[in-house]
Structure 1
Amino acid sequence: MSKSIAITIKDALSKVKFLKNRTAETTADEAKDAFTLLSEYRDGGIYVAHYSGFSEWERHLNGDEFVQVLGGETTLILLNQHQQQRNELSSGQMLVIPKGIWHRFESPDGVKVMTITPQPTEHSTECPVET
């Protein structure tokens, strides 16, 4: 049996570096210091991140993703039935993204976010075509 250790989210966020002007083409290596794994969880993990800019499209085929805004604001765009649903989120708000739904973040002024993200994650730099 593994030992559980309390995690302080504020402390974890203080260790990530702010990534300015994230784009859909930002590489994992360029973004690595702006994201950190807090804990493994089920088939994925719990992460925190701090960045500004616009992310690539992503989706998770093995489960829903939980997104909690810890600071700043973002527009979380979900692609559902060929329609882009824009969700304006600010500090203290959360959203659950259903399994298999393509989504991306628009955070021009910066956001601090915590996610519970199932793996694997599919990515697309272009708006995906739903099947």
Structure 2
Amino acid sequence: MSKSVAITIESEFTRVEFLKNRTPETTDEEAKNAFALLSEYRDGGIYVAHYSGYSEWERHVNGDEFVQVLGGETTLILLSGGKEQRNELSSGQMLVIPKGVWHRFESPIGVKVMTITPQPTEHSIDKPNGT
């Protein structure tokens, strides 16, 4: 059994660089410094990120994703039955995204977010058809 170590989330943000104007076309290489893995967890990990802009669509087929806004604000859009459900989130708020649901972030001003994300993650630049 490995030793557990306490993590101070705010100090972990010193490991990331603010990514300005993220777009669905932003590559993993361009975005890599805006994200940090805090810990492995089950079949995925716990991550922090700091960026502004708009993400691509994504979904996680192996489990629910936990999203907590730690600073700033975002609109977390879930695609359900082909319709967009817009969730306005600001610092201190969280949302659990059900397994397999396509979603994306709109954060024009900027957001600091922590997620517990199962893997693998599927991505789509274009709005997916269906759920």
Q: TM-score with structure 2 length normalisation? A: 0.99
Equivalent residue letter for 1:68? Q
Q: Distance in 2 between matches of 1:28 and 1:35?
A: 10
Give the match for residue 92 of structure 2.
92
Number of matched pairs? 131
Q: Report the Cα distance in structure 1 between the residues aligned to 2:108 and 2:27, rounded to whole angstroms.
A: 18
Distance 1:13 1:114 in 2: 10
**1:75-90 paired onto structure 2 within 5 Å:** 75-90=75-90
Q: Which amino acid aligns with 2:55?
A: S
* Offset of residue 106 of structure 1: 0.1
Q: Distance in 2 between matches of 1:3 and 1:71?
A: 30
**TM-fit CA distance, 1:20:** 0.1
Could you tell me the percent identity over the aligned residues? 79
2:11 is the counterpart of 1:11: yes
Aligned equivalents of 2:5, 2:27: Cα separation in 1: 31
Within 5 A, what are the aligned runs for 1:55-66? Answer: 55-66=55-66
Task: Name the SS for the 1:63 alignment partner.
Answer: coil
- Could you tell me how far apart the structure 1 residues matched to 2:130 and 2:117 are? 21
Task: Provide TM-score, normalisation by structure 1.
Answer: 0.99
Q: C-alpha distance in 2, partners of 1:125/1:48? A: 22
* Structure-2 residue corresponding to 1:2: 2
Letter in 2 for 1:3: K
Unmatched tracts of structure 2, length 5 or more:
none
| Number of the residue aligned with 1:30 | 30
Gaps of 5+ in 1: none
* Shift of residue 128, structure 1, vs aligned partner: 0.3
Offset from partner CA, 1:102-128 (integer Å, 9 cap, x none):
000000000000000000000000000
Residue deviations 1:44-70, cap 9 Å, x none? 000000000000000000000000000
Q: Could you report, residue by residue, the CA deviation over 1:52-90 in whole angstroms, capped at 9, with x for unpaired residues?
A: 000000000000000000000000000001110000000
